[in-house]
Structure 1
Amino acid sequence: MIRNPIALALLSLTLMMNASAAEPEFVPPQRTDKCPVCGMFVYKYPQWVAEILYQDGSYAVFDGSKDMFKYYFAIERYEPAQHREDIAAIYVTEYYSNRIMRAEQLYFVLGSDVLGPMGHEFVPVKGKEAADAFMLDHGGNRILRFDEIGSTDIPD
């Protein structure tokens, strides 16, 4: 038991800072989770899963990065109670490793010959060299970071 009030205050402050700094964790899609953009069951496409986590603990899962971006640029259309400012984290599945990673850590290749569940897809890869190599193998017309993608970049 801590009896020193200063030590107790410092411990409380440290615990609060660590709790607020915790990174939101990816929530694996359930069998009943559908993509809010296209209506497909997401669990069927684990190699393409993308997810937006909100600060209130809710989330939206997608069958690919393309649909995630469609949703991201029109959140209020799909989920009127949410806004971009409410987003805690965005995850996508990295193409080569099939690992779930933060979207802002990856590069997205646009216009390749690799198709996802909904056709032409934004292919997330880790590192610029991997993105360049992917384009050599699969074509593509651009490599963009998450914050460089705009709503006009989304293919049909």
Structure 2
Amino acid sequence: MRKVNPLWLLMLAQIGLILYGFYRLTLTRLNVRWFEVVWVVLGPVILMSFFGIYTYYNIKNAYKEPSEVRTSDRCPVCGAFVYSHLNTITEIYLDGKYMYFDSFKDMLKFIKDMDFYISYRKLNIKDKNIKSIYTKDFQTKQWIDGKKAFYVSINDDIYAFSSLESAKDFAALNNVHEIKTFDKLLT
């Protein structure tokens, strides 16, 4: 069952009270109390503030899908143009901005030492809460959720796979014995 946002319930209650107030003021004109007049006047203002809060909340906390990489996008860790690394590109959505990395390894460096890279690259980031992480599956070249992927580390790079089976096959071909998850890579 779909979860209902409590702000919608507040907005529906507000609309009901405003309609009731208009009914009392316009149709009955009998025994109108002062708080009903205030409610009808302030009701729309309060309702609009609920809509504003709801919109801000949804924009700020949206789970973003991967976006298109531009040729001008650069990795904030090493400064490389990410468009030439389409097999290993990684993307995070942070503080309303998409940030691209030429490899998953650089994205891990950024997460582990975020304050340094934000000040070093002079990035305008206030909210350091990462909303989404996407990376490319090394075999299919499709965007996958970086937190659910399986990773194989070979030489000096990390390759992502959407399924454990494909990660095991790739690891066996390259004589690697360990497959890691996102949480293991962060430690």
When Rg is computed on C-alpha atoms for both structures, the one with the higher figure is 2
The offset of 1:52, in angstroms, is 1.4
The offset of 1:98, in angstroms, is 0.3
For 2:138 and 2:154, how far apart are their aligned partners in 1?
15
Q: Which residue of 1 aligns with 2:44?
A: none
Deviating above 3 A after TM superposition, structure 1's stretches of 4 or more consecutive aligned residues are 19-22, 80-85
Q: Is the 8 A contact 2:62 2:131 kept in 1?
A: no
Structure 1 position 148 matched with structure 2 position 184: yes
1:4-19 matches, within 5 Å, as: 5-6=15-16, 16=54, 19=58
For 1:69 and 1:5, how far apart are their aligned partners in 2?
47
SS at match of 1:28: coil
Q: 1:31 to 1:150 in 2, by over 3 A?
A: same
Q: Which whole-Å deviations, capped at 9, do the CAs of 1:87-127 have from their partners, x for residues lacking one?
A: 11111111111011110120011136xxxxxxx21110112
Q: Which whole-Å deviations, capped at 9, do the CAs of 1:21-49 have from their partners, x for residues lacking one?
A: 75212122221111111111101111111
1:44-59 matches, within 5 Å, as: 44-54=84-94, 56-59=95-98
Q: 1:107 to 1:143 in 2, by over 3 A?
A: same
Bigger proportion of residues as helix = 2
Structure 1 position 129 matched with structure 2 position 165: yes
The offset of 1:84, in angstroms, is 8.1
Task: Tell me which amino acid in the other structure corresponds to 1:108.
Answer: Y
Structure 1 position 38 matched with structure 2 position 48: no
Q: Is the 8 A contact 1:51 1:91 kept in 2?
A: yes
Q: Which residue of 2 aligns with 1:106?
A: 149
SS at match of 1:39: coil
Over the aligned positions, Cα root-mean-square deviation in angstroms equals: 3.0
Q: Which residue of 1 aligns with 2:100?
A: 61
For 1:127 and 1:29, how far apart are their aligned partners in 2?
24
For 2:103 and 2:136, how far apart are their aligned partners in 1?
8
For 2:71 and 2:128, how far apart are their aligned partners in 1?
28
Q: Is the 8 A contact 2:154 2:176 kept in 1?
A: yes
For 2:127 and 2:111, how far apart are their aligned partners in 1?
7
TM-score normalised by L of structure 2: 0.62
Calculate percent identity across the aligned residue pairs: 25
Higher RCO (CA < 8 A, seq sep 6+): 1
Moved more, 45-54 or 22-31: 22-31
Structure 1 unmatched runs, 5+: 113-119, 152-156
The offset of 1:141, in angstroms, is 3.9
Task: Tell me which amino acid in the other structure corresponds to 1:61.
Answer: Y
Q: Is the 8 A contact 1:109 1:131 kept in 2?
A: yes
